[in-house]
Amino acid sequence: MSEQAARRRARSGGGAARRAMRSARGVETAPVITRRIPDLEILDEEALEIIEANAETVLEEIGVAFVDNPGALARWREAGADVRGERVHIPRGLARKLCATAPSSFTQHARNPARSVEIGGRNLVLAPVYGPPFVRDLAGGRRYATLEDFRNFVKLGQMSRWLHHSGGTLCEPTDVPVSKRHLDMLLAHMTLSDKPFMGSVTEPDRARDSVAMAEILFGREFVAENPVMVSLININSPLTFDSTMMGALEVYAAAGQGCIISPFIVGGAMAPVSVAGTLTQVLAEVLAGVAYSQLVRPGAPVIFGAFVTSIDMNSGAPTFGTPEAAQITYGAGQLARRLGLPYRSAGAFTGSKLPDAQAGYESANSLNAGLLAGVNFMLHACGWLEGGLVASYEKFVMDADQLGVLHRLAAGVAVDEAAQAMDAIREVGPGGHYLGCAHTQAHFKEAFWRSELLDYKPFETWAEEGARDTQALAAARVAKLLAEYERPAIDPGIEEALKDFVARRKAELPDAFA
Amino acid sequence: MSEQAARRRARSGGGAARRAMRSARGVETAPVITRRIPDLEILDEEALEIIEANAETVLEEIGVAFVDNPGALARWREAGADVRGERVHIPRGLARKLCATAPSSFTQHARNPARSVEIGGRNLVLAPVYGPPFVRDLAGGRRYATLEDFRNFVKLGQMSRWLHHSGGTLCEPTDVPVSKRHLDMLLAHMTLSDKPFMGSVTEPDRARDSVAMAEILFGREFVAENPVMVSLININSPLTFDSTMMGALEVYAAAGQGCIISPFIVGGAMAPVSVAGTLTQVLAEVLAGVAYSQLVRPGAPVIFGAFVTSIDMNSGAPTFGTPEAAQITYGAGQLARRLGLPYRSAGAFTGSKLPDAQAGYESANSLNAGLLAGVNFMLHACGWLEGGLVASYEKFVMDADQLGVLHRLAAGVAVDEAAQAMDAIREVGPGGHYLGCAHTQAHFKEAFWRSELLDYKPFETWAEEGARDTQALAAARVAKLLAEYERPAIDPGIEEALKDFVARRKAELPDAFA
């Protein structure tokens, strides 16, 4: 039955889209950002060439470690690398040559075709926070995340106009055994949202479960031919590729599913305390990881990832929204474009414990850098708090609102006759007022981006209404969105098959909480 | 005696600098930002040419109004404009031609020569909030500003490492008659700070008092030959130049003192509801204003100003940190560079009533845009709250701390051998740790920018210390800075002469509170 439903689904593009549109009343998601403004390029040609040459030196001379993974070592040996123990020395130019089969852009399909996203080129796809074990909200404070929290964040993502993607591990549902929670997370993404989502990477078997569930949702043939997931493969920086992450990569690449191949770097700890040195290591690691994905399956869709922050040398804590992180975000974007790969970086990063001014400054610094650095896929675009330890309900809707700023800024400046507004300037003249003029009447509705959250009221009104700060306004918006949430329609046969799969796998798997 | 002291001051450059350095223990001010990164140019050549051609059409066809100012009309008539009543129609190309005598860059001198600032080129000079009638702090809430508040903000500015300029009307000292408060404000800037400052513009006579006090501080000859003030001349948009502001401009330009010539625009009210239309009006207004300054005195140092925000079409309130404001900031920067003029725009703008997350997002959006738009002089770089109605103590130190981010980002990326860090990557190798390596030991101290305010502590420590948000941390920093503040040394004769001047003028002037 699940096969039957899946086949029906795979053939039913138009109908599914129409059903999704009908079901999605009250939730209008913006198309992915297509930049009509230039990228900021902070490295000159000479600097880029130095970094690229040094990365090749790192790969050849120092090499990278593929740990507990004889299959990977065999692939590398066959490709012409010099493998000594678990250390893979990659001759100059080989990794870059292997990367050439990776597509420069690809479509990740959503079950609602209107919400499929093209990742690459001038596009920017926005996805929510990934990975926190804790959640925080104004009423309940900081606490371990549960499956109910996870489902709430899927719902908030579905309700967010400027968010294109449902993400992956929005928070860790710590009330479900670690061996089973990937099933509940996938089921939530697949049934509570119709936006694209990410697969599990914490064990190769969980990646296989992800593919199996995607096949139920999209149909086996469709999944065989189209990316329907993008999953996060972290590199164990410096220069180490562990067998868990590589195992997941192998599953996804072989299945033609998308992967972000991403060094995870706290600068000063996992990379040198310099921007150029860190960029060198990032490039070497991504070259090796992407090359490996292409050894598994040439043409597998991958994304050049860079999660980079720096360490506070006084406390040892990672810091966010800093200028060095921005410089690395800009520089890695240039390196990714020269490689012809889609680029993942940035996010609404902050080290703050609360959704306060620090969170606002740091997140805006990072979001702006991400837009101008040419990022194509931005994970953690909303909800991130406390260095990624916490998914914040209030910050989720605050950040998600600010993502509207990026959309508008990226659209560039129109200079058609209406935008030139010469008739308005003539009509109003020196000392006049534009509020009532014909041009304003015709265009004011779409003229300016408007926050759906922030306070624009006169002081007196604001004071009468309780002098609420952004966190309090956001808490009210969270409650409103969750109350207004409606599940997007899904084929009952497919939903049943997904639930059956989850139940069967849960019965098979042992309980494990670590 | 004041003349004698002033002459002594004018000759004593080196000695004054040495005295200032000695006196300034604990307060190290960063040099002005010199950008080593490119500007973001969001308008292409075609768009720029359309806007420039339209601005010329506005000047010729619609014209600009110089109100209650027969002298200005005579100057324009003599320069070749077509003057009808108070409306000045400027033939195509004339305003741009007149602008050519304005310098592309100039030095504003501080009484401590080490703190003089070069305004123009690749530089960015940061100055604090200007104009609020209210102040707010955590303990006292929102209230009318007093002279004591004003003096406190001068002290905070003097203590701010990343702030190059003492500013002007940091807040309105509403406890002093409006007819006299310029004297107290100037005296505070001149005696409590040794950074450069701004003159009064609210009446031409107050501009004259500003020049007279500057002559006491710097010496008459020095002031005659060097800009020692930069003052804010707002244009009454759309297209209107009132006699008060033009009167102040005339005083300063004739005295060879710097002026920012700045449209003050809430888009949708004082300019069309489109970015291209607003840029057209901004350019027309600045062209007319700068041209007029050069009619008063060719070579007078001026700055292309653009204070532009947009209106919330629901509430009628001005909004800040919006994408349209950023687009105008970027576009006006391109227009200013094509005119060869220094550029003033951006600031730590927010509409929020509190120094909360909204304030953080909006301010960071605007600060980042200002840096990347090529702004040379940024007024309101710290302390702005509630759409400019409030100078916030806490936000002053929050923003001032974030200005460090701009310094570091602007410095660009080093790629020398130390920065390449190849020895570190070799030393650490796959799976290692950089914290202890030789490169990290040699460079960690200056490797990363570090906030002096934000929370980087582990959760548990932060919770034990009271779980303070950014506002609470900032309140503590305000108290610390004010407690540690020390007056920079000043020649007692000069200080006496300044106080005598203020006392004499206060005795002459009537009390007036509006």
Parallel, antiparallel, or unpaired: how do β-strands A343-344 and A302-305 relate? parallel
Q: Which residue would you say has higher pLDDT here, B64 or B7?
A: B64
Contact A419 B311 (CB under 8 A): no
| pLDDT tier for residue B19 given thresholds of 50, 70 and 90 | very low
Sign of CA dihedral A62, A65, A70, A71: negative
Contact A43 B413 (CB under 8 A): yes
Task: Identify residue A280 by its one-letter amino acid code.
Answer: T
User: Which residues of chain A have a CB within 8 Å of the CB of B277?
Assistant: 419-422, 424-425, 439
User: Which residues of chain A have a CB within 8 Å of the CB of B359?
Assistant: 357, 360
User: Looking at chain B, which residue has its C-alpha nearest residue A361?
Assistant: B360
User: Which residues of chain B have a CB within 8 Å of the CB of A319?
Assistant: 448, 450-451, 456
Distance separating alpha carbons of residues B418 and B411, to the nearest angstrom: 16
Of A38, A421, A456, the CB nearest to B317: A456
Mean pLDDT of chain A: 94
Distance separating alpha carbons of residues B169 and B133, to the nearest angstrom: 10
At B274-307, the pLDDT tens digits run 999 999 999 999 999 999 999 999 999 999 999 9
Of B61, B357, B432, the CB nearest to A238: B432
User: Which residues of chain A have a CB within 8 Å of the CB of B463?
Assistant: 353
At B235-284, the pLDDT tens digits run 999 999 999 999 999 999 999 999 999 999 998 999 999 999 999 999 99
Between CA A219 and CA A224, with CA A222 as vertex, the angle to 5 degrees is 110
User: Looking at chain B, which residue has its C-alpha nearest residue A315?
Assistant: B457
Q: Is B265 on the interface with A (CB under 8 A)?
A: no
Contact A319 B448 (CB under 8 A): yes
Q: Which residue would you say has higher pLDDT here, B428 or B311?
A: B428
User: Looking at chain B, which residue has its C-alpha nearest residue A43?
Assistant: B413
Contact A422 B277 (CB under 8 A): yes
The per-residue b/e assignment along A331-343, b for 16 or more CB within 10 angstroms, e otherwise, is bbbbbbbebebbb
Q: Does residue B161 have a pLDDT over 50? A: yes
| pLDDT tier for residue B22 given thresholds of 50, 70 and 90 | very low
Global ipTM: 0.95
Mean pLDDT of A184-197: 98
Q: Is A56 on the interface with B (CB under 8 A)?
A: no
At B105 the three-state DSSP class reads strand
At A70-122, the pLDDT tens digits run 999 999 999 999 999 999 999 999 999 999 999 999 999 999 999 999 999 99
Q: What's the half-sphere exposure (Cβ side, CA atoms, 13 Å) at B282? A: 34
Contact A315 B364 (CB under 8 A): no
Of B268, B275, B322, the CB nearest to A405: B322
Q: What single-letter DSSP state applies at residue B246?
A: H
* Percent of chain A residues past pLDDT 90, beyond the cut: 90
Distance separating alpha carbons of residues A469 and B471, to the nearest angstrom: 12
Of B57, B272, B355, the CB nearest to A357: B355
- Which residues touch A461 (CB under 8 Å, ≥6 apart)? none
Instruction: Rounding to the nearest 10 degrees, give the CA dihedral for residues A348, A351, A354, A357.
Output: -70
Residue that the structure tokens 């719902």 belong to: A155
CB A153 within 8 A of CB A113: no
User: What are the DSSP calls for A48-62, one per residue?
Assistant: HHHHHHHHHHIIIII
User: Which residues of chain A have a CB within 8 Å of the CB of B58?
Assistant: 422, 425
Closest CA to A425 of B239, B124, B388, B481: B239
Structure tokens at A121: 């080129």
Of B359, B413, B434, the CB nearest to A47: B413
Contact A420 B310 (CB under 8 A): no
Distance separating alpha carbons of residues A351 and A358, to the nearest angstrom: 8
The Cα of A292 is separated from the nearest Cα of chain B by a number of Å equal to 17
CB B187 within 8 A of CB B154: no
Contact B314 A456 (CB under 8 A): yes
Q: Is B424 on the interface with A (CB under 8 A)?
A: yes
Q: Is A141 on the interface with B (CB under 8 A)?
A: no
Residues 166-225 of B with CB under 8 A from A: none
| pLDDT tier for residue A474 given thresholds of 50, 70 and 90 | very high
User: Looking at chain B, which residue has its C-alpha nearest residue A424?
Assistant: B272
Contact B322 A448 (CB under 8 A): yes
* Percent of chain A residues past pLDDT 70, beyond the cut: 95
Task: Identify residue A484 by its one-letter amino acid code.
Answer: E
Best mutation target among A52, A76, A427, A456 (most B Cβ atoms within 10 Å) is: A456
Distance separating alpha carbons of residues A408 and A30, to the nearest angstrom: 11
Contact A398 B361 (CB under 8 A): yes
Contact A419 B271 (CB under 8 A): no
Residues 392-421 of A with CB under 8 A from B: 395, 398, 402, 405-409, 412-415, 418-421
Of A313, A319, A359, the CB nearest to B360: A359
The correct answer on CATH 3.20.20.480 for the domain covering B99-410 is: yes
Looking at residue B313, its pLDDT comes to 82
Best mutation target among B59, B242, B335, B434 (most A Cβ atoms within 10 Å) is: B434
Chain centre to alpha carbon of residue A52: 26
Structure tokens at A112: 């609602």
Distance separating alpha carbons of residues A366 and A358, to the nearest angstrom: 12
Q: Which residues pair with B318 in a beta bridge?
A: B311
> Which phi-psi region, left, alpha or beta, contains residue B421 (left: φ > 0; alpha: ψ -120 to 50)?
left
Distance separating alpha carbons of residues B21 and A429, to the nearest angstrom: 52
Q: Is A267 on the interface with B (CB under 8 A)?
A: yes
* Residue A471: C-alpha distances to residues A389, A399, B353, B469 (Å): 18, 12, 13, 12
The Cα of B277 is separated from the nearest Cα of chain A by a number of Å equal to 5
Closest CA to A343 of A291, A300, A304, A299: A304
At B142 the three-state DSSP class reads strand
Q: Does residue A455 have a pLDDT over 50? A: yes
Mean pLDDT of B424-430: 97
Task: Identify residue A494 by its one-letter amino acid code.
Answer: I
CB A144 within 8 A of CB A10: no
Contact A405 B321 (CB under 8 A): yes
Structure tokens at B471: 């506002």
Distance separating alpha carbons of residues B176 and B183, to the nearest angstrom: 10
User: Which residues of chain B have a CB within 8 Å of the CB of A313?
Assistant: 444-445, 447-448, 450
Mean pLDDT of A420-446: 94
pTM across the whole model: 0.95
**Secondary structure (H, E, C), B29-61:** CCCCEECCCCCCCCCCHHHHHHHHHHHHHHHHH
**Secondary structure (H, E, C), A139-170:** CCEEEECCHHHHHHHHHHHHCCCCCCCCECCC
To the nearest 10 degrees (0 to 180), the angle between helices B492-508 and B2-11 is: 130
Q: What's the half-sphere exposure (Cβ side, CA atoms, 13 Å) at B501? A: 26
User: What are the DSSP calls for A474-496, one per residue?
Assistant: HHHHHHHHHHH--PPP--HHHHH
Contact A315 B458 (CB under 8 A): yes
The per-residue b/e assignment along B167-186, b for 16 or more CB within 10 angstroms, e otherwise, is bbbbbbbbebbbbbbbbbbb
The Cα of A54 is separated from the nearest Cα of chain B by a number of Å equal to 7
Burial class for B441, CB neighbours closer than 10 Å (0-12, 13-18, 19+): exposed
Residue that the structure tokens 């033009």 belong to: B246
Query: Domain ranges in chain A?
Result: 3-24+489-508, 99-410, 419-447
CB B278 within 8 A of CB B322: no
Q: Please name the helix (run of DSSP H) or strand (run of DSSP E) that holds residue B186, with its range, or none.
A: helix B181-192
User: Which residues of chain B have a CB within 8 Å of the CB of A45?
Assistant: none
User: Which residues of chain A have a CB within 8 Å of the CB of B45?
Assistant: none
Looking at residue A147, its pLDDT comes to 98
The Cα of A391 is separated from the nearest Cα of chain B by a number of Å equal to 14
Chain centre to alpha carbon of residue B176: 24
Best mutation target among B454, B459, B468 (most A Cβ atoms within 10 Å) is: B454
Q: Which residue would you say has higher pLDDT here, B369 or A313?
A: B369
Q: Is B51 on the interface with A (CB under 8 A)?
A: yes
Contact B419 A274 (CB under 8 A): yes
| pLDDT tier for residue A315 given thresholds of 50, 70 and 90 | confident
Q: How many residues does chain A have?
A: 514
Distance separating alpha carbons of residues B377 and B110, to the nearest angstrom: 15
Looking at residue B512, its pLDDT comes to 79
User: Looking at chain B, which residue has its C-alpha nearest residue A387?
Assistant: B456
At B129-150, the pLDDT tens digits run 999 999 999 999 999 999 999 9
Structure tokens at B202: 């609210």
The Cα of B56 is separated from the nearest Cα of chain A by a number of Å equal to 12
At A365-414, the pLDDT tens digits run 999 999 999 999 999 999 999 999 999 999 999 999 999 999 999 999 99
CB B326 within 8 A of CB A364: no
Residues 318-377 of B with CB under 8 A from A: 319, 321-324, 326-327, 331, 351-365, 368-369, 372
Between CA B15 and CA B23, with CA B20 as vertex, the angle to 5 degrees is 125
At A279-297, the pLDDT tens digits run 999 999 999 999 999 999 9
